[in-house]
Structure 1
Amino acid sequence: MSKFLQLFFTLVITCSGVKSLSNDHILQRFAFMEQDIAKLKTEVNLLNAANARLNEDNQRLHSLLIKLQQYEPTYDGLHRNIDKHTKNSGPKMETKRLLLSSESPPTTDHVAFCATLTNTISNLGTHQAIEYDKVITNVGHGYDARHGHFTSPKKGIYLLSVTAHAINDAKQKVALDLVVNGNIIFQLLSDGSGGNESNMSQVFPIVLETGDMVWMRTKAGYEGKYLYGSTTWTLNSFSGVLLSAL
C-alpha cells in the first residue's frame, strides 16, 4: 500500500511540473500523511466510545421510564385511598386540611370592572385592541387599562357589557369584536353613516375559566375608522361583573 501511495505522489508531482523534489521529500510528506491518518483514527475511536456511552445512558433512561410507568397505577391508588381516608376522618383531620389550605394564595370573592374611552382613536388598525383608559371600577384587579384586557381571576358566570358609539359622519360605521382568548364571541356594529349619531350596546352572560382573557378589538374590514373618546360623556365603555363563582 505504501509503495502504491509513493508511486501515486511521484506521478502527481511529475504531472504538475514539479520535478525537483527528491524521493526523500516525497517520503517525508507521506510520513506526515500517515501521522494525520493516525490522529483521525484516534478521534474516530474517541467518538465511537462517546457514542457507546450515550447509547448506554439512553438505555438506562428508557429502563427508568418503564419503571415509572409501572409505579403510576400504584401511586394513583394510594392517592385515592388518602382522599377517601381524609373524607371519612373526623374533625381532627379536617382541622389539618384547613391549616394546609390556609397557605394557598387567597381567592377573589368579588369581581367587577368598568372602564370608558376618553382618548379618541382616530385610525383603528387591524384587530386593534380597544384600550378603555379611564377605569371607574376594578374590584379584583382583573382589568388592565394598559392593554384593554380583562383577565378572569376565577371561574364563574360573568355578566359583560359593551357600548360602541359612532358620530354622525357618512364614513362612520364602527364594528368591534368581543374576543375571549382570541376567539370571537360576538360582534358589535354602530352605524353613524345616516347622518345621526349611533349607539349600540350589548349585555350578555358568559362562563369564564380562571385566566381567560377578554377584550374588544376592531372587526376585520372596518379599519381606518375612529372611536370618539370623551371626558364628559360615556360613549364607549367596557364592563363586567362576576355573578356566581363555579
Structure 2
Amino acid sequence: MTSVLVVDDDPRLLRALRITLEARGYQVIAATDGRTALAAAAEPEPDIIVLDLGLPDLEGVDVICALRGWTTAPIVVLSGRAGGTDKIAALDAGADDYVTKPFRIEELLARLRAVARRAAIPSEMPVVAVGDYLIDLDARRVTPKPDSGGVGEIRLTPTEWHLLDLLVRNPEKLLTYRDLLPPVGGPAPKERSHYLREYIGRLRRKLEPDPTRPRHLITEPGIGYRFQP
C-alpha cells in the first residue's frame, strides 16, 4: 500500500483528503505544520509527500529543503500560491510537481500516480517512443518506428540532446528553466524562457507529429516543460 504524508493546516481539507485517498487505497499520514511533517517523514518514510506552502510555523520551501537533505520521496506541492515565483522556488528546492488550489481531486490523483511511476523507473532507460520516432538515449540515436511516417534518422544538436535527455529521463515531471539549462554558461536569467522556447520548438518540429499541438513536449507557462510519454 502506498503511504502518503499530507501536510496542510486546514483540518477540513486534511479530513477530505484522508477520506478520498484512503478510498483509493492509499495509507494517509496527516500533519498540520512543518515541524510535525518533518518528524512524520522520518520514520517510517512515506512513499509520497503532499505539502502546502502556507504552514503556520515554517515556510513550505524550507520544509522541502529540509526533506531533501535526507529523503528522495516525491513531493507534490498543493498550495493556494499560484504565482510563478512561488512555483519555481518550490520546484528548485526539490519538489517534484505543483498543484494549485482550488484543485480537482482527479488532477491531484493523476499527479500522485505520475510521481509514483517515476519513482519506480529503473536507472537505465529503455528506448522511448516520441511520435513516429524511437529515442535511444544511451546510443544518442533517434530513428523512425517500423512502418511509421518517420523520414529517417533524426540528427540533434548537443543542446537539443541535453534538453531531450533531461526531459525523457524525467517523464511527467515538471522541469523548470533552471533544471533544463546547462549548469554553466548559457543565457542570462531574463533570456532563459526565450532560449528554451527556441530549442523546444526545434525539438517539436523534429519529433512531434503536429508541432503546433505537441503531445509529448509540454509547456508549463512561466515555469518550464514536461515530457509526456
TM range (shorter): under 0.3
Larger radius of gyration: 1
Higher RCO structure, 1 or 2 (CA under 8 Å, sep 6+): 1
TM-score normalised by L of structure 1: 0.19
Bigger share in strand: 1
TM-score normalised by L of structure 2: 0.20
